[in-house]
Amino acid sequence: MQALVEQLVKLQALELDRTRLLHELRALPAEVARAQASLAAAQQKSADASSALSREENLRTKLEREIESHRQKATRFRAQLDDVKTPEQAAAIEHEVQFATAEIDRLENEEFASLERTEAKEAELALARAQVELLAASLETAQASAAAQTRQLQIELAALDEDRQKVRGLIDPAWLARFDRLASARGTGIARADNQQCTGCRMGLRPQTWNQLREGELLTCDSCSRLIYWDPAMAPQPKEPQPATAPGQGRPIRKPSQAGA
For Zn ion, the binding residues (CB under 5 A) are 198, 200-201, 221, 223-224
Give 5 or 125: the residue with its C-beta nearer to Zn ion.
Answer: 5
Is the Cβ of residue 111 or residue 194 nearer to Zn ion in the bound state? 194
Query: In this structure, are residues 220 and 190 in contact, taking their beta carbons and an 8 Å threshold?
Result: no
Q: Cβ 161 to Zn ion, closest distance in Å?
A: 29
Residue 203 CB, nearest distance to Zn ion (Å)? Answer: 5
If one counts every other C-beta atom within 10 angstroms of the C-beta of residue 246, the result is 6
Cβ neighbours of residue 114 closer than 8 Å, sequence gap 6 or more: 56, 59, 60, 63
C-alpha closest to that of 218 among 180, 256, 246: 256
Taking the complex as a whole, the smallest distance from the CB of residue 159 to Zn ion amounts, in Å, to 31
Rounded Cα–Cα distance for residues 13 and 189 (Å): 11
We find the least distance from the C-beta atom of residue 261 to Zn ion, in angstroms, to be 18
Residue 187 C-beta: closest distance to Zn ion, Å: 12
Q: Judged by CB, which is closer to Zn ion: 35, or 228?
A: 228
131: helix, coil or strand? helix
- Is 39 or 205 the residue whose CB approaches Zn ion more closely? 205
CB of residue 46 to Zn ion, shortest distance in Å:
57
Pick from 150, 190, 186: which is nearest to 171 by CA?
190
- Shortest distance (Å) from residue 244 CB to Zn ion: 32
Contact 55/46 with Cβ under 8 angstroms?
A: no
The answer to whether the CB of 146 falls within 8 A of the CB of 31 is yes
Q: What are phi and psi of 120, to 5 degrees?
A: -65, -40
Nearer to Zn ion, 50 or 223 (CB): 223
User: Of 25, 67, 65, 254, whose CA–CA distance to 155 is shortest?
Assistant: 25
Alpha helices in the chain (DSSP H): 3-80, 87-170, 173-186, 207-214
Q: Which CB sits closer to Zn ion, 59 or 224?
A: 224
Tell me whether residue 3 or residue 203 sits nearer to Zn ion (CB atom). Answer: 203
